[in-house]
A and B are shown apart, each in its own frame.
Chain A
Amino acid sequence: MRHYVLVVKEDCETCRMIQPVAAALASSTELRIFSQDNPGFPGDLPDGFTIEDDRELANSFELKIEIVPTLICYDDAQESERLEGWDRSAWERVCAQNFSASLPAFRPGCGSKSQDPGMAEKLAVKYGSQQLKARRVNIADGEDEVEACYDRGWSDGLPLVPPTEIRVVRMLQGTLRAADDIVGDVPPDYAPCSIEKIAINAVMAGCKPEYLPVVIAAVEAALMDEFCMHGLLATTYFSGPMVLVNGPLSRAIGMNSRGNALGQGNRANATIGRALQLVIRNVGGGRPGGVDRSALGNPGKYTFCFAEDETGSCWESYAEERGFSREASTVSLFAADGVQGIVDQKSRTPESLSRSFAAGLRVVSHPKMVMAADAFLVISPEHERVFRDAGWSKARLKAELHDLLQIPGSELIVGAGGISEGLPEKLKGQMLPKFREGGLNIVRAGGSAGLFSAIIAGWGASGKIGSVPVTREIL
């Protein structure tokens, strides 16, 4: 048994043009007509024929209509053919009849109202194609939506984008992962974290859907055992997770790796780092005054995320050093404090500039502490140029810094320099490196003007005792 479904809207010129065709089909075939905007359209149908009102678009959504007019042909209740727009010969073949010679051979249709901007997500929510599992939190009439998020303790202190169902559905379109896929257990509560929960927090942070894969990779990286997210959260130290993004995706989503890369003003940088922190806060339950025992914290605990400037660098990227290809996009996490600047506007040789860097790096944590905190050295283009012109590789610079940062134990022991802080007396005769093996990393970022670089010091419990930097590919 053959029957037809025709979906139209009056606002479409092609739909208006085919009204005689609709009338002919209505009188000669088994036909249902759905009208998206006017249940009185099309006109001139046989007496007793009922047009089905689809202004709520339930049928258009169910039928996955993208174009009007759409004619669907069913044989024995199975869709056998679908025609979009007007193609005279195709319609005549499918309907097994000839239509008026005055109609053109071809005319494209219009977009279905179910495809209007933002409508697809609204219909997905309304008609339940996207099954979200999170508990619904009812907001009373008259309750301010932003204040409601504060009242429920979800905020890091800044306003949040209210996580409505439609925003979360839109966010989830940024990933192919299933909403109920569990990425791991988030400390300190070790609560299971689904893609859906990450998406909800990404909405609140202000992310675009295209950032979601980066946020997911950042959460997965934070949950790697060697990153030690629990201890990093609980510590009295300053640190929080710093997010470094490498690869083509960082450029595709418009991340900033140049001027003010470590600062404000770029949506992707700002919201990806914030989303990770919100996941730790809301899913993991990690909050200041609770398990987060930081004495001072640092401003990066709101958000700390930037991209490495790979395209302008003469050196291999951090991700390449970690074994990833230049085409791969990755997220790396580092347990980081804030930013300490290094100003050197006079050095024009790598020997001199590396000594400046070493002098700055010597004071990480405390000038008398060694092999405690890791560090990232963020080298700006004007400083990098000094090494580029002299032909120094990144490995060469690291090796030189390693040599420059060998410190006599006599300067480090308890009481040296009149400072009680220090190492045991027994280390007095030894030379000790400032950083553990692999504890000093170098990336390039920053604007084209300014003979400045930056040290991002790490947690005092860097290394196997606490946290080591981790990298994950963004998939």
Chain B
Amino acid sequence: MSSFLDPTAELAPESRIPLPRRESLVGLKVGFLDISKPRGNIFIARLDELLTQAGAIPRHYAKPTFTRIAPVELKQQIATECDVVIEALAD
């Protein structure tokens, strides 16, 4: 038996269990993350309208630029202020 050296970062794949589904939208704090791409705002506005009608509480956030990952502070803010988050990728 021969062996190779692993060219990857050796991040062992883990099976991840999805979070349980929410039973109700009423009172749910929903974060909308606009990544700052064109027309993302249109998508978010429509979802905001629908989810608000269903009793959810919307909160809005935006990345400074779509080309970079969200700043840590923004991720922490969303994590502390929201129950769920919806990201508008636009494309």
A residues with a Cβ closer than 8 A to B are 132, 134-141, 145, 148-149, 154, 162-165, 168, 186-187, 189, 191-193, 196-197, 200-201, 204, 228, 230-232, 235-236, 278, 282-285, 293, 461, 465-467
A283 pairs with B5, CB closer than 8 A:
no
Q: How far is the CA of A168 from the CA of B6 in the complex (A)?
A: 11
Closest A-chain residue to B6, C-beta based?
A135
Which residue, B1, B5, B68, B69, has most C-beta atoms of chain A within 10 A?
B5
- Known: A189-B11, A236-B91, A293-B91. Is A137-B5 also a contact (CB below 8 A)? yes
B65 pairs with A465, CB closer than 8 A:
yes
The residues of B that contact A163 with a CB separation of less than 8 Å are 4-5, 7
A197 pairs with B68, CB closer than 8 A:
no
The residues of B that contact A189 with a CB separation of less than 8 Å are 9, 11
* B24 sits at the interface (CB 8 A): no
B5 pairs with A132, CB closer than 8 A:
yes
Q: How far is the CA of A335 from the CA of B9 in the complex (A)?
A: 24
A204 pairs with B7, CB closer than 8 A:
yes
Contact with A along B60-91 (1 / 0, CB 8 A): 00000111110000000000000000000001
Closest A-chain residue to B65, C-beta based?
A465
Q: Contact partner of A197 among B1, B9, B66, CB < 8 A?
A: B9
The minimal Cβ–Cβ distance linking B30 to chain A, given in whole angstroms, is 24
The residues of A that contact B68 with a CB separation of less than 8 Å are 228, 230-231
* B3 sits at the interface (CB 8 A): yes
A201 pairs with B7, CB closer than 8 A:
yes
Contact with A along B11-43 (1 / 0, CB 8 A): 100000000000000000000000000000000
Closest B-chain residue to A235, C-beta based?
B67
Write 7 A-B pairs (CB below 8 A) sorted by A numbering.
Answer: A135-B6, A139-B1, A189-B9, A231-B65, A282-B9, A283-B9, A466-B67
Which residue, A135, A141, A191, A200, has most C-beta atoms of chain B within 10 A?
A135
Known: A135-B6, A136-B5, A465-B65. 14 other contacts (CB 8 A): A132-B5, A137-B6, A138-B1, A149-B4, A163-B5, A165-B3, A168-B5, A192-B9, A197-B9, A236-B91, A282-B7, A283-B7, A283-B9, A466-B65
- Known: A230-B68, A466-B65, A466-B67. Is A135-B10 also a contact (CB below 8 A)? yes
A231 pairs with B5, CB closer than 8 A:
no
B interface residues, tally (CB under 8 Å): 17
B4 pairs with A164, CB closer than 8 A:
yes
- Known: A236-B91, A461-B67, A465-B67. Is A137-B3 also a contact (CB below 8 A)? yes
- Known: A140-B1, A145-B2, A293-B91. Is A154-B7 also a contact (CB below 8 A)? yes
B67 pairs with A228, CB closer than 8 A:
yes
- Known: A228-B67, A231-B66, A467-B67. Is A164-B7 also a contact (CB below 8 A)? no
The residues of B that contact A165 with a CB separation of less than 8 Å are 3, 5
Q: How far is the CA of A192 from the CA of B8 in the complex (A)?
A: 10
The residues of B that contact A285 with a CB separation of less than 8 Å are 8-9, 11
The residues of B that contact A193 with a CB separation of less than 8 Å are 9
The residues of B that contact A465 with a CB separation of less than 8 Å are 65, 67
The residues of A that contact B65 with a CB separation of less than 8 Å are 231, 461, 465-466
Q: How far is the CA of A19 from the CA of B4 in the complex (A)?
A: 44
Q: How far is the CA of A149 from the CA of B2 in the complex (A)?
A: 13
The minimal Cβ–Cβ distance linking B21 to chain A, given in whole angstroms, is 25
The residues of A that contact B66 with a CB separation of less than 8 Å are 231, 461
Q: Contact partner of B4 among A139, A186, A230, A232, CB < 8 A?
A: A139
Which residue, B2, B7, B11, B91, has most C-beta atoms of chain A within 10 A?
B7
A136 pairs with B67, CB closer than 8 A:
no
The minimal Cβ–Cβ distance linking B90 to chain A, given in whole angstroms, is 9
A134 pairs with B11, CB closer than 8 A:
no
